[in-house]
Amino acid sequence: MSDLENPFQETLISRHRAEPCTVVIFGATGDLTNRKLIPAFYNIAACGDLPPQFKVVGFARRDKTDEVFRTELEAGNRKNSRQGHNEELWSSFSQCIHYHRSEFEDLDGYKSLRVLLDEFDKERGAPANRLFYLASAPEAFKSILEMLRAAGLNEGVGGKWARVVCEKPFGKDLASARALNHVVAETFEEKDTYRIDHYLGKETAQNIMVLRFANALFEPNWNSRYIDHVQITCAENLGMEGGRGGYYDTAGALRDMVQNHLFQLLSLVAMEPPTDLSADSVRDEKVKVIRALRPLIGPEAVGKNVIRAQYTAGSVDGVPRVGYRQEDRVNPQSNTEPYVALRLFIDTWRWQGVPFYIRVGKQLPKKATEISVHFKKPPQVPFATNNLIKNSENTLVIRIQPDEGIALRILCKQPGQAMNMQQVKMDFRYSSSFGKASPEAYERLLLDAMAGDATLFARRDEVENAWKFIDELEKAWHKTDNPPPMREYPAGSWGPKEADDLLRQDGREWRLL
């Protein structure tokens, strides 16, 4: 294992701190800034990792002062900060927060932003790096990028860098993703472009590579010889609360979750070992996984391997829930799926014949995201006369949320004279093992963007190859004469029976969460 240990050790030891930096958040009055970004910066400051002379500028249309903006963000931080809210720390931290009012299409607003950033540099006595965060609605990305370029803000000052962070969704199909990538490429180089996916900032997601490649227990067995199948589940126990129905009904589970979050997890599980832990080495291997996905083309192939469904009226945790088509801002005749289950195959030597089952849905019984790796059963010759328990295969469960951690399920003999076996769990939890909760995903990702580490961000070819696969499924659903049917399931259940049948016809079952 020595050849595998050095790259991890070198990367972990050599992580560098970010230099003085100004972050400009476009769409700063939105929910993301209030609920995630500012609390993330605050917690970074609480840990002592914020760059010196740090500044953050909120860029939005509404008219307000720095003090009004800070007061609004303070209320959000009290509610959302991982480490609680400390009055003294906030008083100091909030002084780095500023507000700049402008329309996204107004070039003069960007020119005055440049003057403000130059003033900050004069106060510091030297130029600082600049990070532009697109937290606005996706339709505003093009205007913002064009205005940044027209105002000359896409170029660093005095040898310092300028970078852009793009929130999802990054396009709605292959054509729009390519068009947006073209606009980004005209404004920022690929090395300065950070397409964010907060799932990759979660500690357990980051730990997948260490688990796989740094442990002799798993590395030799991570292939089709020993693994029977893999399941990836993302369950939500909510529906269209907060007015989200308007957006969601134009996207659906496939485009909102599978194309980005779940394909990223799939890539980490299935990738080959990178030559080192540099950003491009890791992303080279991840994109190979997406390119190796067996295509599903046409209604027949899609219908056999993909189940889409909408929830009907039911209850979750005893609370009555309306059906999807009765949700606020959802078309009563909607043909959008809040649930999708897929059976995928990766046509590589390592994974030949191993199915990957993915499911994501709204209004399910609980909120949980996990990966479960189901190993093949050994020959049961010594125990052939005993009653083996159902689903007795060894299973490695990687919990992404909540209660991040890893569990290994194995068979053991029950106490007593009889040779009765029972499945037991060896459990690792971040909070109990390390004595503290994991940092929020945005904390890690924001630090990485400021430090210039793009490992946990999607590269252009990753995004486009994922959309290429997804577009074929969308085409079969919406652009053919005989599309696969839309299934139904009651709110509070684990999905449609057809999704269960997808596994049962292979002699398998979804893992109970």
pLDDT digits (tens, 9 = 90+) for 109-152: 999 999 999 999 999 999 999 999 999 988 899 999 999 999 99
Residue 128 tokens, joined: 């600082």
Task: Note the residue count of the chain.
Answer: 513
Residue 248 CB contacts under 8 Å (≥ 6 apart), including other chains: 240, 256, 330, 336, 338
Q: Is the pLDDT of residue 382 over 70?
A: no
Say whether both 415 and 267 belong to one domain: yes
Find, among 200, 89, 257, the residue nearest to 444 by Cα: 200
Expressed in percent and rounded to 5, the helix, strand and coil fractions of the chain are 40, 20, 35
* C-alpha–C-alpha distance, residues 278 and 50, integer Å: 23
Q: What are the pLDDT digits (tens) for 452-479?
A: 999 999 999 999 999 999 999 999 999 9
Among 100, 198, 229, 261, which one carries the catalytic annotation? Answer: 261
CATH number at residue 475: 3.30.360.10
Say whether both 220 and 273 belong to one domain: yes
- Domain presence at residue 182: no
Q: Is the pLDDT of residue 503 over 50?
A: yes
* C-alpha–C-alpha distance, residues 436 and 48, integer Å: 16
Q: What is the pLDDT of residue 334?
A: 96
- Domain presence at residue 477: yes
- Mean pLDDT value across residues 358-369: 97
Strand order in the sheet with 227-235: 421-429, 405-413, 395-401, 368-375, 227-235, 355-361, 339-345, 306-312, 486-490
Say whether both 90 and 219 belong to one domain: no
Which region among 46-60, 354-368, 373-387, 389-403 has the lowest average model confidence (pLDDT)?
373-387
Whether the CB-CB separation of 337 and 310 falls below 8 Å is answered with yes
Q: Is the pLDDT of residue 315 over 90?
A: yes
Say whether both 254 and 363 belong to one domain: yes
Say whether both 44 and 125 belong to one domain: yes
Q: Which residue has the tokens 């990538």?
A: 181
Q: What is the pLDDT of residue 251?
A: 92
Q: Which of 159, 191, 212 is the last residue of a domain?
A: 159
Q: Is the pLDDT of residue 391 over 90?
A: no
Q: What are the pLDDT digits (tens) for 43-52?
A: 999 999 998 8
DSSP β-bridge partners for residue 321: 314
The span from the first CA to the last CA of the chain, in angstroms, equals 34
- Mean pLDDT value across residues 387-392: 64
Active site residue 261: yes
Say whether both 150 and 216 belong to one domain: no
Say whether both 281 and 347 belong to one domain: yes
Position 204 confidence tier, pLDDT thresholds 50, 70, 90: confident
Domain count, the chain: 2
- Identity of the residue numbered 174: L
- Mean pLDDT value across residues 77-90: 94
**Angle value at C-alpha 138, between 135 and 141, nearest 5 degrees:** 80
Say whether both 231 and 118 belong to one domain: no
- Domain presence at residue 328: yes
Q: Are strands 319-321 and 314-316 parallel, antiparallel or unpaired?
A: antiparallel
State the number of CA atoms in the 13 A half-sphere of 100 facing the CB: 23
Q: What are the pLDDT digits (tens) for 165-191?
A: 998 888 899 999 999 999 999 999 999
Question: What is the span of the domain harbouring residue 229?
Answer: 200-504
* C-alpha–C-alpha distance, residues 85 and 93, integer Å: 11
Query: What phi, psi does 141 have (nearest 5°)?
Result: -55, -45
Q: What are the pLDDT digits (tens) for 235-256?
A: 999 999 878 899 899 999 999 9
Q: What are the pLDDT digits (tens) for 6-59?
A: 444 444 334 456 788 999 999 999 999 999 999 999 999 999 999 889 999 999
Q: What is the pLDDT of residue 497?
A: 97
Say whether both 234 and 87 belong to one domain: no
Find, among 87, 51, 114, the residue nearest to 450 by Cα: 51
- Mean pLDDT value across residues 319-342: 96
pLDDT above 90: percentage of residues in the chain: 76
In 108-124, which positions are buried (b, 16+ CB within 10 angstroms) versus exposed (e)?
ebbeebeeebeebbeee
CATH number at residue 86: 3.40.50.720
- Mean pLDDT value across residues 286-307: 97
